[in-house]
C-alpha cells in the first residue's frame, strides 16, 4: 500500500498541526493560572490576592518586552521561573519552580526525564508570558 505525503503547510492550514508554541501557550497558561496568578494576578499585572501581603513589589509581567526595548527577554524569564540558576533578584520571594517541578516528577520520570519535564513546563510558562505582552 502506498501513502501520499502531505506537507506540513497543508496539515497546518487544515488545523491538524499546531505550532509547539501554541501548545506551550495552553499548557503555560494553565500552569500560570494555577501557580503564579495568586501573586502576579490573573491578568499578570502584579495584582494577585497575595501581592498586597508581600514586602516586595510584584512585577507586571505584561510589560517585560516594554522594559527590554520591545524584545521579550526569554532567557531571563526562563531563569526567573526556574530559579535554580542563582540569577535571582535580591529579596525575591519567588518560588524555585524548577526544583518544585523536578521534585514532583523525579519518582515517575527519573533524573533525566524529570529535567526534561521541568524544562518543558518552564518554557511553556515563558511562551505564555510572551504571548500576553502589551
Confidence of residue 94 (pLDDT cuts 50, 70, 90): confident
Which residue has cell 520571594?
93
pLDDT tens, residue by residue, 18-77: 555 555 578 999 999 999 999 999 999 999 999 999 888 899 999 999 999 999 999 999
Output the CA–CA distances (angstroms, integers) from residue 30 to 57, 63, 79, 115, in the order listed.
24, 20, 19, 20
Task: With a cut of 90, say whether residue 91 has pLDDT above it.
Answer: no
Range of the domain at 73: 20-131
Question: For residue 12, is it within any domain?
Answer: no
Please, what is the end-to-end C-alpha distance for the chain in angstroms? 52
Looking at the 3D structure of the chain, how many domains does it have? 1
Residue 33 lies in a domain: yes
In a domain, residue 15? The reply is no
Does residue 93 fall inside a structural domain?
yes
- Quick one: what percent of the chain has pLDDT higher than 70? 78
Amino acid at each position: 500500500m502506498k501513502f501520499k505525503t502531505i506537507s506540513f503547510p497543508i496539515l497546518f492550514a487544515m488545523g491538524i498541526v499546531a505550532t509547539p508554541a501554541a501548545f506551550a501557550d495552553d499548557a503555560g497558561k494553565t500552569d500560570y493560572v494555577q501557580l503564579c496568578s495568586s501573586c502576579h494576578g490573573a491578568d499578570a499585572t502584579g495584582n494577585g490576592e497575595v501581592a498586597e501581603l508581600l514586602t516586595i513589589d510584584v512585577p507586571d509581567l505584561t510589560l517585560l518586552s516594554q522594559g527590554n526595548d520591545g524584545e521579550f527577554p526569554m532567557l531571563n524569564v526562563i531563569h526567573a521561573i526556574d530559579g535554580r540558576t542563582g540569577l535571582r533578584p535580591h529579596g525575591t520571594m519567588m518560588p524555585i519552580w524548577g526544583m518544585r517541578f523536578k521534585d514532583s516528577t523525579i519518582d515517575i520520570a527519573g533524573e533525566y526525564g524529570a529535567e526534561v519535564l521541568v524544562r518543558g513546563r518552564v518554557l511553556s510558562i515563558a511562551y505564555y508570558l510572551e504571548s500576553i505582552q502589551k
